[in-house]
Structure 1
Amino acid sequence: MTDQTDLPRGEARHHGQTTSEVVVDLHEYKKSKNPPPVTFHRRELDLILRLYGRMVGEGEWRDYAIDHLKDRAVFSVFKRSGEAPLYRIEKNPKLAAKQGAYSVLNAHGTILKRGQELAQVLKVFDKVLKLVEI
């Protein structure tokens, strides 16, 4: 406990220092006009990076980029780092109740698969073995 009085919201408190600290109400921050960007959670990144590691091992992918935008999170994969992405794995929470928050798009922007669960959407990259008769 301190012997200092409570300050009104947003008022700075100075203790003889040249820098000032601003007290921010977390409830107001969450309602602010600048919400935090959409991000991938740890389990989502784990699924995506497992797939990425497998595809790198097969020699199909070489580089990736992660973008956290205000409306969606995007994991882009590249064959070569200087080119356009081969695929984009997107998380768009606004579509969660409709078509599903997760989608995989190709280089042309065509949606290859969309759904509610990331693991199901990533199955678009699974290769089906075919029986070949000799």
Structure 2
Amino acid sequence: MNQNTPISLIPFKPPEQVAFHRKELAIILSLYGRMVAAGEWRDYGISMLRDVAVFSIFRRAAEQPIYRIEKRPTLSVKQQQYAVIGMDGRILKRGADLKQVLRVLEKKLIRAIE
């Protein structure tokens, strides 16, 4: 580094909240729409907090969520940033690719036809 190299005096500031990007929401809402059409899901909620973004899925609006899709960028290196969590708090699937993680919920759409 020579004397003419500028030095940044502004400290790094982490984002104030984590959010789903447009492409991520398109993937989630595509699955959500198919599940609503199948009569499985009825409502959703989105929370954007400092360290996590959560897409909560409800069977009825007055209940607790049956599934939560979480995005935690701080876990992107160690444990992967996306997770699907069940009503009881168990992690059903975790991964770096949102489409792969959501496949655990798509299995609910496959039914035997009699």
| Global fold match (TM > 0.5) | yes
Does residue 81 of the first structure (1) align with residue 39 of the second (2)? Answer: no
| Structure 2 counterpart of 1:68, one-letter code | M
User: What residue in structure 2 maps to residue 31 of structure 1?
Assistant: 13
TM-score (norm 2): 0.83
Relative contact order, CA 8 A, sep 6+: which one is greater?
2
% same residue:
53
TM-score (norm 1): 0.71
Structure 2 unaligned blocks of 5 or more: 1-8
Structure 1 unaligned blocks of 5 or more: 1-26
User: Alpha-carbon deviation of 1:30?
Assistant: 5.5
For the aligned residue pairs, the C-alpha RMSD in angstroms reads 2.2
User: Alpha-carbon deviation of 1:36?
Assistant: 1.8
Structure 1 segments, 4+ long, off by >3 Å, are: 27-30, 128-132
Aligned residue for 1:51, secondary structure, equals: helix
User: What residue in structure 2 maps to residue 100 of structure 1?
Assistant: 80
CA offsets per residue over residues 35-78 of structure 1, 9 Å max, x none?
32000000000000000000000000000000000000000000
> Whose radius of gyration is greater, 1 or 2?
1
